[in-house]
C-alpha cells in the first residue's frame, strides 16, 4: 500500500501538478504549504494500517512477490519526473550562461528533457537487468557531445549528464535491493 501511495504521489506531484505549485514550493521553501502536503502520504498510511513489526513481516511474506512490479514502476517514475526537477534545479545557475542567442543555433524545444528521460530510462533498465557494461556505451555516446560545443555548454551538458547517471544508477541499485 505504501508503494502504491508513493506512486500515486509521484503521478499527481510530477505528472499532473501544475508548474505554479512547484514554483510556489521553490519560492517559499519551508514556508510553502505545498511542501508539507508531501508528508501526509506516510502519515495516512500509518494511520490506516497502523503497522506493527509482525504485521510488516506477514505482509512481506504475502505480498513481496507482488511488490516487485510496484517497485519497478516507482523506480521509473522517480527517474523520470522528480529527478528531472532536481537536475533542473541544480543546473539552473549555469543554464543562462549556455543559452545561445543566435536563433539558428537554438536547440530543439525540450530536447534536453527528453534526452535526460531517455538516458535515465536506459540506465535504470541496464541496472535492473544487471547489464552494467551497457552504461559504458551511453557514457561514450554522451562524451562526443562534451567536445562538440563551447566549453561552457560542454561543461553544462556534462554536469547534467553525470547528475542524471548518478540518480538513475542509485535508484536502480535501491530498486534492486527490493527485487
Q: How far is CA 130 from the centre of its chain?
A: 19
In terms of pLDDT, which residue wins out, 59 or 82? 82
Q: What is the pTM of this model?
A: 0.62
Of 166, 125, 119, 120, nearest to 141 by C-alpha is 119
Interval 108-125 mean pLDDT: 87
d(CA 120, CA 113): 11
Q: In whole numbers, what is the pLDDT of the chain averaged over residues?
A: 78
In terms of pLDDT, which residue wins out, 85 or 33? 85
Domain ranges of the chain: 1-50, 60-178
d(CA 105, CA 149): 11
Q: What is the pLDDT of residue 166?
A: 94
Q: Is residue 102 a contact partner of residue 32, using CB atoms and an 8 Å limit?
A: no
Grid cell 523506480 in the structure block, residue: 75
Amino acid at each position: 500500500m505504501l508503494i502504491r501511495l508513493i506512486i500515486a504521489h509521484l503521478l499527481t506531484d510530477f505528472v499532473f501538478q501544475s508548474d505554479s505549485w512547484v514554483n510556489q514550493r521553490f519560492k517559499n521553501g519551508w514556508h510553502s504549504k505545498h511542501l508539507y502536503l508531501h508528508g501526509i502520504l506516510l502519515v495516512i498510511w500509518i494511520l490506516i494500517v497502523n503497522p506493527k513489526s509482525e504485521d510488516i513481516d506477514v505482509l512481506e511474506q504475502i505480498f513481496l512477490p507482488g511488490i516487485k512490479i510496484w517497485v519497478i514502476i516507482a523506480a521509473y517514475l522517480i527517474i523520470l519526473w522528480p529527478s528531472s526537477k532536481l537536475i533542473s534545479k541544480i543546473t539552473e545557475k549555469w543554464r543562462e550562461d549556455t543559452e545561445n542567442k543566435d536563433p539558428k543555433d537554438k536547440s530543439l524545444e525540450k530536447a534536453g528533457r527528453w534526452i535526460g528521460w531517455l538516458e535515465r530510462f536506459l540506465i535504470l533498465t541496464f541496472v535492473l537487468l544487471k547489464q552494467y557494461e551497457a552504461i559504458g556505451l551511453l557514457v561514450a555516446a554522451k562524451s562526443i557531445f562534451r567536445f562538440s560545443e563551447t566549453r561552457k555548454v560542454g561543461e553544462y551538458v556534462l554536469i547534467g549528464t553525470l547528475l542524471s547517471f548518478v540518480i538513475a544508477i542509485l535508484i536502480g541499485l535501491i530498486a534492486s535491493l527490493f527485487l
